[in-house]
């Protein structure tokens, strides 16, 4: 087995070298924007600007919203509607997240981190919406970090 699989992400992604989200002034961010996926896949990743209110609707579809390298205002809202769909929202460390979704025969998973450790002026993302026979997963990941690496990092942090 290659030795790089045994190393933590910090060993081959030094913190200073990892790009991350950028907080921009409110006047540089659109007030409303959205995406629609109908029997399709929608992905937003890389460097892009998250609107103050971003609406995503997925019907019999998949949507992946990656905020790890996004430009965002200090307070953003992601409004979701999912019907027979899967929505994944990836947030970088250092962003305060609040999830308030309703689920009917569905699942809302929020991988919470301790936001009390964040500075008072940390950017906030509020996730709101409805899930019908669908799933929404909100998780915290570093840029370039896989789910497997994140599990190792969280396990090591717990001791």
pLDDT digits (tens, 9 = 90+) for 82-94: 999 999 999 998 8
* Alpha-carbon gap, residue 130 to 40, rounded angstroms: 19
DSSP state of 149: H
Average pLDDT estimate for 139-147: 89
Q: Mean pLDDT across the stretch 65-79?
A: 95
Whether 65 has a pLDDT exceeding 60, the answer reads yes
Q: Which residue has the tokens 């953003």?
A: 76
On whether the CB atoms of residues 129 and 82 are closer than 8 A, the answer is: yes
Q: Tell me what pLDDT residue 116 has.
A: 61
Higher confidence at residue 144 or residue 53? 53
For the entire predicted model, the pTM comes to 0.83
**pLDDT of 16 over the 70 cut:** no
pLDDT at 14 over 50: no
Please tell me the distance from the alpha carbon of residue 45 to that of residue 107, in angstroms, as a whole number. 23
- Identify the pLDDT of residue 26: 87
């Amino acid at each position: 087995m290659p030795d790089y699989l045994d190393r933590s992400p910090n060993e081959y992604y030094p913190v200073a070298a990892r790009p991350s989200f950028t907080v921009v002034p409110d006047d540089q961010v659109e007030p409303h924007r959205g995406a629609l996926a109908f029997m399709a896949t929608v992905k937003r990743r890389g460097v892009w600007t998250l609107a103050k209110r971003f609406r995503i609707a997925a019907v019999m579809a998949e949507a992946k919203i990656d905020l790890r390298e996004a430009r965002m205002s200090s307070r953003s809202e992601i409004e979701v509607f999912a019907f027979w769909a899967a929505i994944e929202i990836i947030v970088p460390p250092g962003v305060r997240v609040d999830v308030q979704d309703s689920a009917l025969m569905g699942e809302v998973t929020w991988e919470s981190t301790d936001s009390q450790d964040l500075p008072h002026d940390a950017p906030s993302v509020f996730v709101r919406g409805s899930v019908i026979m669908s799933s929404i997963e909100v998780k915290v990941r570093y840029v370039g970090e896989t789910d497997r690496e994140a599990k190792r990092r969280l396990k090591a942090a717990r001791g």
